[in-house]
Amino acid sequence: MDILVLVLDLVGTFVFALSGAMLGVRRRLDLFGVLVLAFAAATAGGMTRDVLIGATPVAALSDWRYPAITLAAGLITFVWAPLIERLQQPVRMFDAMGLALFAVVGTQKALDFGIDPPMAAALGMLTGIGGGIARDVLMAQVPLVLRAELYAVAALAGAAVVAIGHWLQWPPAPCAIAGALLCFGLRMMALRFGWQLPVALQSGGEGEPPDAMR
Amino acid sequence: MDILVLVLDLVGTFVFALSGAMLGVRRRLDLFGVLVLAFAAATAGGMTRDVLIGATPVAALSDWRYPAITLAAGLITFVWAPLIERLQQPVRMFDAMGLALFAVVGTQKALDFGIDPPMAAALGMLTGIGGGIARDVLMAQVPLVLRAELYAVAALAGAAVVAIGHWLQWPPAPCAIAGALLCFGLRMMALRFGWQLPVALQSGGEGEPPDAMR
Amino acid sequence: MDILVLVLDLVGTFVFALSGAMLGVRRRLDLFGVLVLAFAAATAGGMTRDVLIGATPVAALSDWRYPAITLAAGLITFVWAPLIERLQQPVRMFDAMGLALFAVVGTQKALDFGIDPPMAAALGMLTGIGGGIARDVLMAQVPLVLRAELYAVAALAGAAVVAIGHWLQWPPAPCAIAGALLCFGLRMMALRFGWQLPVALQSGGEGEPPDAMR
């Protein structure tokens, strides 16, 4: 079981790093910028979680396999960018797997640090989507995880299963598996059928912030 | 007194969440993105302060009322966005109240953690303006708190009163009240009379960073 | 020796603050926004490093000289912006010095906190480039340190010398000097000869993120 989690975690890191490196290539960063963006996309979620709960030094700094795999993903993307663009279908599936696993593992870690279940679920979601947010903010664009088909919602749903299970004192392993499957399933179905959350009605304005803060 | 601070703190959280949700609606985020932006705007300032002084797990993760009230603000904005746009005047006033309170409470907390008065005042200001910065950075726009009428200055002025009072060993409660009133008053007057800080003369350039860093 | 490090560290802080203030002036921020940007550029790298390794309260909050020197740099830039634009050559040299010193000092501090050498080198690099990243993200532009001539690479090279020296148990002082000289030399030569890292070939796309994350 632990081996499985480790493998999935590394796969998730690899695919998230891939997504960061890919954006770096498209925005014409040089080799080094691509690697930095890969690292940010793969680790920012977990690092933010660890910093917020006080689990320092953060985990991504204490296991050499994470930077190693991130570096590999960055180099592979740099060299074979056109190929990876064509592998969309499998990359999306691995990405959904990474999201599911990050959300579940992140929630569990927050619970282990004594965070209450509702906030632990929020932290699990953040673990899943934080990398994508950091990647897009560094490229000065609105984070797509805040718009994509049920991306953050799927992460929260999976995290909530783990948090509720913990609150009801159910055994953690089945809850983790159920949460990961729910997240993965939701995300894949949202991609398949183009599910979207509603957008609010509004009276005008064009990206201007509320006047209260101007 | 403590009840009053709690109520004002929750009001501040509510109004800051409102400002985040409003920007999310204007930028056409879906329901979930709106909620995430509301949460960022309401809590990023306090979370950053707590992380920098080492007060982890950060406070926003340990009290369910903050996420609950943020969620409420996000949902209300999502449903009644056009209405809230029309309530500018009261929203601005509550926002100034929130700013004043966040600045004062943030300074006090930093002092309690042994930070020196000048830096504690800076952290108090950051508590007040951090949420607005996070909100705008997530939407890939230059933070308006860095440009708005004395917004950050008012926060710093209020925070400075608390820090100076602490340095002179005056009793904290009157200092906190005086600081909050100063911040609130400055901000309301700046809004009323359109006060602005000066902008530097410059020799040209158009948003380019200094060449030293290129 | 310690006096030398302190002086160089303060010079580095001053020049980094200058670069932040300069960008603020060019983007027409008011006086206060300029000061905030100066502070972010000068301290964000070190603060992020301290937060990630758990060295809280972060160092920039516990020594009054750093905010004082940052304030001075911001005010000077605000008043004499056109002059400083013309002093490009010396500013670039001091900037490269600051980068070298921040990278070396950051790596050493991470090693002192028990971080493994490879990650300590990464943190040293982050100490050097973090300020520039924060400065540019706040102004909603893609960080130039991710594109500039060997900027991040030079920081990493200098940091790596310190980390490798620590791993081989060499005496720290000569390693620190060698690392700083390597970083400074690389950066100055890259500026002189226009060295750039390669950019990846790609099949199209225009700044769009990979579809896996949409």
Q: What integer is the mean pLDDT of A80-98?
A: 79
pLDDT one-digit tens code per residue, C3-34: 766 777 788 888 889 888 888 888 888 888 88
Reported for C145-149, long-range contacts at CB under 8 A and 24+ positions apart, including other chains, are C145/B213, C146/A29, C146/A30, C146/A32, C146/A33, C146/A36, C146/A37, C146/A138, C147/A29, C147/A30, C147/A33, C147/B214, C148/B213, C148/B214, C149/B214, C149/C187, C149/C190, C149/C191, C149/C194, C149/C195, C149/C196
Task: Give the CA radius of gyration of chain A.
Answer: 17
Which of residues 39 through 68 in chain B touch A, CB cutoff 8 A? 39, 47, 51, 54, 56-58, 61-62, 64, 67
Q: What is the pLDDT of residue A125?
A: 92
- A209 pLDDT above the threshold of 70: no
Residue C175: name the closest of C159, C194, C188 by CA: C159
**Is C209 in Cβ contact with A144 (below 8 Å)?**
yes
CB atoms within 10 A of CB C170: 14
Q: Give the Cα separation of B76 and B84 in Å (integer).
A: 9
**Is A22 in Cβ contact with C152 (below 8 Å)?**
no
Q: Give the Cα separation of C115 and A134 in Å (integer).
A: 23
**Is A140 in Cβ contact with C141 (below 8 Å)?**
yes
Report which residue type is found at B202.
Q
Residue C130: name the closest of C10, C5, C13 by CA: C13
Q: What integer is the mean pLDDT of C114-118?
A: 89
> Computed from CA positions of residues B129, B134, B136, B140, in that sequence, does the dihedral angle turn out positive or negative?
positive
CB-nearest partner of C200 from A34, A92, A138: A34
Between the CA of residue B5 and those of A89, B9, B12, what are the distances in Å? Answer: 53, 6, 10
**Is A85 in Cβ contact with C212 (below 8 Å)?**
no
pLDDT, averaged across chain A: 84
Q: What is the pLDDT of residue B197?
A: 77
Between the CA of residue C205 and those of A27, B104, B154, C200, C210, what are the distances in Å? Answer: 9, 48, 45, 13, 9
- Of chain C, the percentage scoring pLDDT greater than 70 comes to 91
Q: What is the pLDDT of residue A93?
A: 81
CB-nearest partner of B51 from A51, A119, A212: A51
Report which residue type is found at C51.
V
Q: Which 3 state secondary structure label does DSSP give C149?
A: coil
Between the CA of residue B84 and those of A27, B18, B91, C174, what are the distances in Å? Answer: 38, 9, 8, 63
Query: What does residue C20 show for φ and ψ, rounded to 5 degrees?
Result: -65, -45
- Of chain B, the percentage scoring pLDDT greater than 70 comes to 91
Q: Which 3 state secondary structure label does DSSP give A8?
A: helix
**Is C118 in Cβ contact with A18 (below 8 Å)?**
no
- A76 pLDDT above the threshold of 70: yes
Higher confidence at residue A4 or residue A147? A147
Q: Give the Cα separation of B15 and B182 in Å (integer).
A: 19
Q: What is the pLDDT of residue B54?
A: 86
Q: What is the pLDDT of residue C10?
A: 83
Write the DSSP symbol of residue A56: -
CB-nearest partner of A61 from C52, C146, C206: C52
Residue B124 CB burial class (10 angstroms; 0-12, 13-18, ≥19):
buried
Q: What is the pLDDT of residue B132?
A: 87
Q: What integer is the mean pLDDT of C66-79?
A: 90
Q: Give the Cα separation of B214 and C144 in Å (integer).
A: 6
Q: What is the pLDDT of residue A88?
A: 74
Q: Give the Cα separation of C10 and A88 in Å (integer).
A: 49
Helices and strands per DSSP (H, E), number in chain A: 7, 0
Subunits with 3+ Cβ pairs within 8 Å of B are A, C
B214 and chain A: CB distance < 8 Å anywhere?
A: no
For the record, the structure tokens of A80 come out as 């074979």
pLDDT one-digit tens code per residue, C125-155: 999 999 889 988 998 888 888 877 788 889 9
- A112 pLDDT above the threshold of 60: yes
Q: Residues in chain B with pLDDT < 50?
A: 1, 204-214
Q: Give the Cα separation of B210 and C38 in Å (integer).
A: 12
Residue B96 CB burial class (10 angstroms; 0-12, 13-18, ≥19):
buried
Gap from B104 CA to chain C (nearest CA, Å)? 18
A138 and chain C: CB distance < 8 Å anywhere?
A: yes
For the record, the structure tokens of B109 come out as 């907390």
Interface predicted TM-score of the whole assembly (ipTM), two decimals: 0.80
Gap from C51 CA to chain A (nearest CA, Å)? 7
CB-nearest partner of A29 from C56, C146, C213: C146
pLDDT one-digit tens code per residue, B158-177: 999 999 999 998 888 888 88
CB atoms within 10 A of CB C167: 14
Beta bridge partners of B62: none
pLDDT one-digit tens code per residue, B34-70: 998 999 999 999 899 989 988 878 888 888 888 889 9
The percent of chain C in helix, strand and coil, each rounded to the nearest 5, is 75, 0, 20
Q: Is the peptide bond before A171 cis (omega within 30 degrees of 0)?
A: no
Q: What integer is the mean pLDDT of A142-149?
A: 80
Interface test mutation site (partner C, options B153, B213, B214, max chain C beta carbons within 10 A): B213
